[in-house]
Structures are given as C-alpha cells and as structure tokens.
Amino acid sequence: MFKRLVTAGVATLAFSLMYSAAADTLQDVIDRGKLVAGVKADYAPWGMRDASGNVVGMEIDMINDLANRIGEQAGKEIEVELVVVVASNRMQFLEQGKIDIMIATMSDKPERREVVGIVQPNYYSSGVAILAHNDSGISDWDSIKGKKICGIQGAWYNKEHGDKNGAEMIVFKGVPEVEAAVLDGRCVGWLYDDSAFIPRKVNEPEKWKDYEIATPVVADVPWGAAVRKEEIQDPIGKTLSAAIIDWHKSGTIAELETKWGVPQTQWVLDMRDKCNAGDKSCDDVLDEGE
C-alpha cells in the first residue's frame, strides 16, 4: 500500500514537473488532439446535464467553438473532453493540470487572479435584477417605488437597489422562504442575482411562467475564463483571449444567450460595441480598473 502511494506521489510529481517544463499547453492539446476543459454541470443553462446525462450549455458551446478554432489553426481535428467542476474545486483542478482551461461561471475577482490566469477580456457578466410578476407594473428600477419587493437578509443590494429606489423591502432568512413568499404573492418582485433567476425559468418553466426579469441588470460582476496562472501569456492564454474577443465582436455570446433562453444582457451588448470599436477594455491585457 505504502509503496503504491509513493509511486502515485512520484507519478504526480513527475506529471506536474512535466507540465511546468513543457509549459506550452496549446502544443500539448494539438499533439493529443484533445482539449480538456473544466465546466459546471449545476448551473443551467451555462453548464447543465440534458435528459440523457450529457453536459451541455452555453459554456460548453463556447468550449466546442474554441476547440474548432484550435483545430483549424493546427489543421487537425481537436476533440473536447469535459471535466465537471464545482465552485470549490475548479481553480485547484486547473492548477493541478487536470484541465487545460476552465470556463465555469467564475466571477473575476482580484484574489482569484492570484491563483489562476484569468484571461482578458471577460466573457460574461451577471448582476442584480428584479424578477417580477407579469402584472406587477414593474418595468425599470423607478417603477418599484412603493411596491413590495422580497429579498434575502444580509444582501448588500437590498438597501442600495431596493430601499433607495423606494421599494417596500420584505426580507427573509433564506431563499426557500423568499420563494414561498414570492409565489404566494406576498410581494410583486424578488431582488436577487439575475443568474439565479434564469436557471429557475429554464428548469421550472411552469412554476415561474408568470414571472420575468423586469429590470435592467445592475451591479455587474464579470465572469472570467481561465488558464494556469503562468500560462496567461503563453499561446493557450492568448488563443483563449482571441476567441473571447471574437465572440464579443461577432455577437456569438448574444446568440448563445438567445439559444439557451437567457434574456439579453446589457453588458454583452456593450462589450460587442466596445470590441468592434477597438476599446481597450476588449483587449487581452488587464488594464487599470478592469
């Protein structure tokens, strides 16, 4: 047993040494003919399982497109291997070389940039919005004035986007209580993360059929795709950056939103304009304030 452990340890060590020595993950991908990507399977419709158990979603489409691009450049078919990650292990999977790249609904935060190489520009963004009943009369942030809006205790945006817009906030301890209160009609809207509303609409369309995201999304936090930290300037990082820039320019991300039933995100539309105008927020370097 002990011997086997040692062998496994040595193998892992050799493996990671090999990685740091080889460094050029892109070349490895081409040699192998396979791109190993980390994706979510618990975040519909960005990454989820379909009826037959396959992992599908918006981010999986992006990865397939990336593999095609690499394949075209190399003149060779590149296969995609999806590795399902969760929020708590996705960065470790990348660090340990279990995956080559990661597109897994990860918000781009400074402390995460210390661990993995989050390539620029960001590919998506989520924020705060109101899910409202169809006959609530809510169409923008001004129209929530004087209306009953449910929320979660402790969320910073209750005050900033609820109270300050004149809403009568009714806040509960947990998400299930809020859901019950919203569906019982105790409030006309729900102030929460927009990326939590969409899976509800996608997975339980019957339950939420009378509810739509009624306000523009605010307080955006961008999502980043990542490679290993030391590879951000290497071909794999640059290829991923170039693909994201191209997705923005060509409107691919907006198309994917439509395909997967996600409402149009203002951030995506803005990025399309910025990228086509050659704005520096849409290049592959991290500018100040980005």
Partner 1 sequence: MEIVWDWFEWLNKAHGIKLTIFYDEWDRGRFLKGIWTTIHLSVVCILLSVFVGMTGAWLQMSRFVWIRRVVAGYIAFFRNTPPLVQLYFFYFAVDRTLAGFFDVKGGMMDSYGWAVISLSFFAGAFNTEIFRAGVEAVPKSTIEASEALGYTKFQIYRYITLPLAYRVCLPALNNNLINLVKTTTVAYAIAVPETLYISNQIWSDEYNVPEMMNVVWIVYLLLVGVLVFLMHRWEKHIKVPGFGQ
By CB under 8 A, name the binding residues for partner 1.
153-156, 158-159, 163, 169-173, 177, 180-181, 184-186
Q: Shortest distance, CB of residue 118 to partner 1, whole angstroms?
A: 27
**Which two tokens mark 28?**
């490895």
Q: Shortest distance, CB of residue 133 to partner 1, whole angstroms?
A: 10
Q: Shortest distance, CB of residue 211 to partner 1, whole angstroms?
A: 14
Helix and strand numbers, DSSP H then E, in the chain: 11, 14
- DSSP per-residue string spanning 117-150: EE-SS--EEEEEEEEEEGGG---SSGGGTT-EEE
**Amino acid in the structure at residue 1:** M
Q: Could you tell me what percentage of the chain is helix, strand and coil, using 3-state DSSP and rounding each to the nearest 5?
A: 45, 20, 35
Of 90 and 133, nearer to partner 1 (C-beta) is: 133
Q: Shortest distance, CB of residue 155 to partner 1, whole angstroms?
A: 7
**Strand 79-84 relative to strand 34-39: parallel, antiparallel, unpaired?**
parallel
Of 139 and 153, nearer to partner 1 (C-beta) is: 153
**Which two tokens mark 116?**
């993995």
Q: Shortest distance, CB of residue 135 to partner 1, whole angstroms?
A: 10
Q: How far apart are CA 63 and CA 255, in angstroms?
A: 15
Of 2 and 156, nearer to partner 1 (C-beta) is: 156
Handedness of CA 42, 43, 44, 50 (dihedral sign): negative
**Amino acid in the structure at residue 88:** S
Of 210 and 230, nearer to partner 1 (C-beta) is: 210
Contact 90, 104 (CB under 8 A): yes
Of 158 and 241, nearer to partner 1 (C-beta) is: 158
Q: Shortest distance, CB of residue 160 to partner 1, whole angstroms?
A: 8
Of 110 and 174, nearer to partner 1 (C-beta) is: 174
